[in-house]
């Protein structure tokens, strides 16, 4: 299972459907979660009054102010990024039992951001939040169990946590759960159930799930084989930045699977996939081999045209992010 995470878990991206209008904070009144987020957004947009209010509330011990102020510091909004200072505020909030702050602490220890990396300590913080039913922390516990980081490796427990998080609406957990069903890791293999969860995540915009849906349709795993649908899902995943989706799309073009055969466009998508992959990774090696195979069969003019297409695609995706 993959570990997909941002530097810190930003409170502004979780459990929100609307912002509560901020009318001013009365003395001694605790800030609501939405109020703190709105203040943070105003502070990011250069409102000094909003930032002063947020800092004042955080210094008074307001939990949500502490968390969002930590987010601002961690992301360097209004100054240089300073994970060590952010941790001070996250810890204050986490010590009150707030699951968002506890999850931030776990991520900090996992990545070694502002504190020394420590998988055992990371697992301890994630466990606290997961036991409160916090979906992101539940997914983290699944990933730690799957990899045996900070806890004993246990694929069945990993599946347990993935399922809890997925049923609580965590998109990344839906992808991990779908993958577990597809591969029969921690549970009985069931491609049909795997596709069900992968589709949920893919429709939420998860690029990795979209790539897996492409593969499911390409190879007929859990669904009837359909190259056209495979291309559609690969294209969505590639446009969202997934290297394996771009790779799958390139292969479909080069072999004429679900689209008219087009080595130029196939090579272009493989080039895009290469830019998305981590150098030296197994994914990068797979992509490089396929690019080399096509390169030996293409003319100099076709290769030049393909490189131009790839450049245009990469620039377009960079603008959209």
Question: How would DSSP label each residue in 171-234?
Answer: HHHHHHHHHHHHHTSSS---HHHHHHHHHHHHHTT-HHHHHHHHHHHHHTSSS---HHHHHHHH
| Any domain includes 112 | yes
- Amino acid 29: pLDDT: 54
Cα 107 from Cα 133, distance rounded (Å): 17
| Any domain includes 257 | no
Q: Which residues contact 243 (CB under 8 A, 6 or more apart)?
A: 273, 274, 276, 277, 283, 287
Mean pLDDT, 10 residues at a time, the chain of 321 residues: 43 30 40 90 92 94 95 85 94 97 97 96 98 98 98 98 98 98 98 98 98 98 98 97 96 98 97 94 93 95 96 81 56
Give the chain's domain count: 1
| Any domain includes 224 | no
| Any domain includes 74 | yes
**Domain that includes residue 68, residue range:** 1-117
- Amino acid 6: pLDDT: 35
| Any domain includes 109 | yes
φ/ψ of residue 290, rounded to 5: -70, -40
| Any domain includes 275 | no
User: How many Cβ atoms are within 10 Å of 262's Cβ, its own excluded?
Assistant: 16
Q: Count each helix (H run) and each strand (E run) in the chain, helices first.
A: 16, 0
CATH classification at residue 75: 1.25.40.10
- Amino acid 320: pLDDT: 57
Question: What pTM, to 2 d.p., does this model score?
Answer: 0.87
| Any domain includes 105 | yes
| Any domain includes 278 | no
Choose among 142, 186, 193: nearest CA to 168.
142
The answer to whether 65 and 36 are in contact (CB under 8 A) is yes
């Amino acid at each position: 299972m993959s570990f997909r995470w941002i530097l810190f878990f930003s409170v502004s991206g979780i459990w929100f459907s609307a912002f509560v209008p901020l009318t001013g904070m009365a003395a001694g009144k605790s800030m609501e979660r939405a109020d703190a987020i709105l203040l943070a957004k105003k502070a990011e947009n250069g409102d000094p009054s909003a930032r002063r209010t947020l800092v004042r509330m955080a210094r008074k011990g307001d939990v949500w102010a502490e968390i969002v102020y930590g987010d601002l510091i961690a992301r360097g909004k209004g100054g240089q990024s300073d994970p060590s200072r952010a941790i001070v505020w996250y810890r204050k909030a986490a010590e009150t039992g707030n699951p968002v702050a506890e999850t931030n602490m776990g991520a900090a220890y996992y990545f070694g951001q502002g504190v020394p990396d420590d998988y055992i300590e990371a697992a301890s913080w994630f466990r606290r939040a997961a036991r409160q039913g916090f979906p992101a922390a539940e997914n983290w516990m699944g990933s730690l169990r799957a990899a045996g980081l900070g806890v004993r490796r246990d694929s069945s427990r990993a599946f347990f946590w993935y399922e809890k998080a997925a049923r609580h609406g965590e998109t990344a957990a839906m992808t991990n759960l779908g993958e577990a069903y597809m591969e029969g890791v921690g549970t009985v293999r069931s491609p049909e159930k795997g596709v069900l969860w992968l589709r949920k995540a893919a429709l939420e915009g998860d690029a990795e799930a979209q790539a897996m849906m492409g593969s499911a349709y390409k190879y007929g795993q859990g669904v009837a084989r359909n190259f056209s649908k495979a291309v559609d899902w690969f294209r969505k995943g590639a446009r969202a930045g997934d290297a394996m989706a771009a790779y799958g799309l390139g292969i479909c073009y080069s072999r004429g699977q679900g689209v008219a055969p087009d080595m130029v466009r196939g090579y272009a998508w493989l080039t895009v996939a290469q830019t998305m992959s981590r150098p030296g990774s197994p994914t990068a090696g797979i992509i490089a081999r396929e690019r080399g195979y096509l390169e030996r069969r293409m003319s100099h003019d076709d290769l030049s045209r393909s490189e131009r297409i790839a450049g245009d695609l990469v620039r377009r995706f960079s603008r959209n992010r």
